[in-house]
Structures are given as structure tokens and as C-alpha cells.
Amino acid sequence: MPKFKSFKGNRKTDVLIIGGGLAGILCAYTLQKHNIDYMLVDAGNIFGGVSANTTAKITSQHGFIYDKLVKQFGVSKAHLYLKTNQNAVSKYRELAKNIDCDFEEKDNFVYSVDSLYRIEKELNALTKIGFSADYFENPNIPIATKGAIKFKNQAQFNPVKFIAEIARGLNIYENTTVLEYNGKDFITDFGKITAEKTIVATHFPFINKHGSYFLKMYQHRSYVLALKNAPDVKGMYVDEADCGLSFRNYNGLLLLGGGGHRTGKQGGNWAELSEFKDKHYPTSAEVTRWATQDCMTLDGVAYIGQYSKNTPNLFVATGFNKWGVTSSMVAADILCDLVLEKQNPYSELFSPSRSILRPQLLLNAVETVTNLLTPTKPRCPHLGCALKWNPHEHSWDCSCHGSRFSEDGKLLNNPATDDLK
């Protein structure tokens, strides 16, 4: 991965990008292609956060989402969602032609363990929006299912190799923390940045006084085991249920994912995956393990666009709902058009200012109020919620908004911006 210096001093720029994950770097890459004056700052090293822990599936099949989209937004907008994500797959395919990043064409499968009815509803929704998908009766995974829906010609890759090449030559500053936004300037550790327009791509947005993201999102944690001496499943698989399992192969390894739960809550974690491995892949051996977490929105669609109605020059990309790879490319497309003041056909669908009247809003509010009233320490410096000890990862986790801290109080995951006192 290329290294970049820290930012020191004062500077004006047309576009400031905050956050050096996949979405931020793709925004920078796209702006540079348009010869736009920009700079990207990251509090640590680029690609050192959540993006680095992705299982890197490049697909427009985000669970059984199209039936939900048709019901919530109508056939036309469901079609737009499919189209922009299919475009994202194509853009990765085109870029990967010149980058050694282990890009592989793969079919993607979403399976259900208990409901043929949900499979049929999803297939019906896909037919309505004009997309041809296949019912697959016997998925190549060791689980009894009711079948799966297959999207052909999707892909997987090595995102670290991809970003290492994409980032070279970009105007990036590492180890540069944005400490404050006063409505005009961004104050960093060693200077001040004045931007005409700003893109916040920090996984969970850190500016709390706009957009109400602390109500509109929560974070979901999930786990992965990399196994050797395990079979090739010949595709990419994921359960349509939030807490199901995912499978894909890479470089002779099987990446087994699952054990998920709301950050700060109890879940299956690695123990669930290890039990599954011992039962279904008894001759396999664990090579490594890791965990990650995703921002989940109220309606299953990412928030990409103007940060809030009252911030016309402030933009955001967040809430990728476990599909950060394709969503990052979608974000780069939409946000670069918006900062260039061009019309984008997908911006309304992803607008962060769309209706928040969804059932998940009440669940998020109850979780927040409950934890605010829980009289225990330590407290999260983000909004003061009670933290819970995570014995599996030896961290203090916040179930309100997903901030995490090491045993000695160092910040691991945002939206908090400070260590524990």
C-alpha cells in the first residue's frame, strides 16, 4: 500500500474528501479523472479501517432486496437500484483489466434455509423490474436450503491489491484527523482546510448536528474464518437472513462468514463458525480469522448524497448494509456528479433526506434510550451510551451506534472520535 504524508498548514480546495476507505478513494480517483481540485484526508492510513475487512463480493444482489424495494419505492426505483449496482460491477470489471487484483467472474447466490415463498417473491420482483435471474435448487454448500437465486456474471477480487494501485498518485494525506467542523472550515491536528464542497466517507458520519444519522443507522458486526483444505463452493453464497452464513473461495481458501449480531449485543461470533467448520468441514484447518461491521439503514438502501437538507455543500456516503464494495462505486458515481452540479438519475433513490418513517427507527430509538438510562460505566464519548464488554474481541462496544474501544480505551470504530477517558 502506498504511503502518504500528513497534512500541515492551511489550504483551500474545491473538494475535500474525509475518509480513506474504498468509497473515499474511489471518489478521489473519479474526481482526479475529471481534473477537479480535491484532497483526501484520513485519520490513520488509507484502507486501514472497515474496508480492509470486506469479503469483497462485487454484486448487485444484496440479499432478497428487490421484493422490499418494489414494496417500499415502486418498480421504477427498484429497477434504478439494480441498474446502478450492475453498472458498478461493470466499472470494477473495466478497471481490473489493468490491475493485478485477483479479479474473478463468479456467479452470486442468495439462499434461504426455510422459505421457498420468499424466494418466489424475490423472483417475482425481479421479473417485474425486467431482470432475468435463475432459481437454483441445490446450492453447493453443506446446508439444507429451499434453494437459491442466482445472479450470473458477478465478481470477487482482492480489494487491498486494487486500492494499492488505484491510490497511487492521488492527492491523499494520511494521519490527519479532522477535529472540528465550524460550518465553514475543517480544523485538523495541524492546520485548517477550507473547502467549497466536502464528501464525508468515514463509514459512520461523525458530524452529529446534521442529518440525524445517530437515529437513522445502527451497526452490525460479523465474523470470518479463512479455511484451508476446504472445498471450492464454485460461486459466492450468502443467506437471505441477517444472521446467516456466507461462503466464497480465495487463493485456495474458503472464507466462511457469519455469526453476526448488532454491535454491542450477543451473537454467534467465531464460535458459531468454528462449530460449523468442525461439523461440515472436519478436515479443514483455520488459517486466520477477522471481524468487521457494517452500517445498517432504516430501509436497506445506502445514504448517498447531500448530508442534510440544510447543508448544500456537504455530502455523505454511508449505510452500505453489508454491500460496501458495489455501494462504494455507486457512491463515487453519484457524489462526483453532485459536487460537479450535474444531474444524476440515481440521486433521489439514495438521498439521505428521504423518509425515515420505518419500523427500524423505533428499534434504534429504544436501544439508544435504554442504553442512555443504563447507569453503568464506561460511557461512549459519542452520545453517552453505556458500553458493553465484548469477551470475544476484548473490546468495549456500544450497541447504540456501534463505536468500539480496546481494553485500554483506544478508539477502534467510529462514530466516536475520541478515546475513552
Query: How open is the CA angle 349-352-354, to the nearest 5 degrees?
Result: 65
More confident residue, 133 or 377: 133
pLDDT of residue 280: 97
Q: In which band, very low, low, confident or very high, does the pLDDT at 30 lie, cut at 50, 70 and 90?
A: very high
Average model confidence (pLDDT) across the chain: 95
Same domain (yes/no): 345, 364: no
Q: In which band, very low, low, confident or very high, does the pLDDT at 182 lie, cut at 50, 70 and 90?
A: confident
pLDDT of residue 375: 87
Q: What percent of the chain has pLDDT over 90?
A: 91
Residue 22 lies in a domain: yes
Same domain (yes/no): 363, 319: no
321 DSSP assignment: T
Task: For residue 380, give the CATH number of its domain.
Answer: 2.102.10.10
pLDDT per residue over 347-361, tens digit each?
999 999 999 999 999
pLDDT per residue over 225-263, tens digit each?
999 999 999 999 999 998 899 999 999 999 999 999 999
Asked whether the predicted pLDDT for residue 191 surpasses 90, the reply is yes
Same domain (yes/no): 405, 308: no
- The model carries a pTM of 0.95
Question: Could you give the C-alpha distances from 148 to 106, 117, 120, 237, 413, in angstroms and in order?
Answer: 15, 12, 10, 9, 34
Q: What percent of the chain has pLDDT over 70?
A: 100
pLDDT of residue 272: 96
Residue 145 lies in a domain: no
Residue 108 lies in a domain: no
What residue numbers bound the domain in which 367 lies?
359-412
Residue 239 lies in a domain: no
Last residue of a domain, one of 350, 376, 391: 350
Q: Cβ distance 328 to 317 under 8 Å?
A: yes
pLDDT of residue 184: 84
Q: How many domains does the chain have?
A: 2
Same domain (yes/no): 367, 408: yes
Instruction: Give me the mean pLDDT over the 251-280 stretch.
Output: 95
Residue 142 lies in a domain: no
Last residue of a domain, one of 333, 350, 367: 350
pLDDT of residue 52: 87
Q: Cβ distance 145 to 2 under 8 Å?
A: no
Q: Three-class SS string for 74-107?
A: CHHHHHHHHHHHHHHHHHHHHHHCCCCCCCEEEE
Task: For residue 326, give the CATH number of its domain.
Answer: 3.50.50.60
- The partner residues of 286 in beta bridges, in order of sequence, read 227
Same domain (yes/no): 364, 408: yes
Residue 128 lies in a domain: no
Q: What is the DSSP string of 104-155?
A: EEEEEEEE-SS-HHHHHHHHHHHHHTT---EEESS-SSSS--S-EEEEEEEE
Question: Could you give the C-alpha distances from 235 to 84, 282, 368, in angstroms and in order?
Answer: 22, 21, 39
Q: In which band, very low, low, confident or very high, does the pLDDT at 13 lie, cut at 50, 70 and 90?
A: very high
Residue 134 lies in a domain: no
Residue 338 lies in a domain: yes
pLDDT of residue 418: 87
Element (DSSP H or E) covering residue 60: none
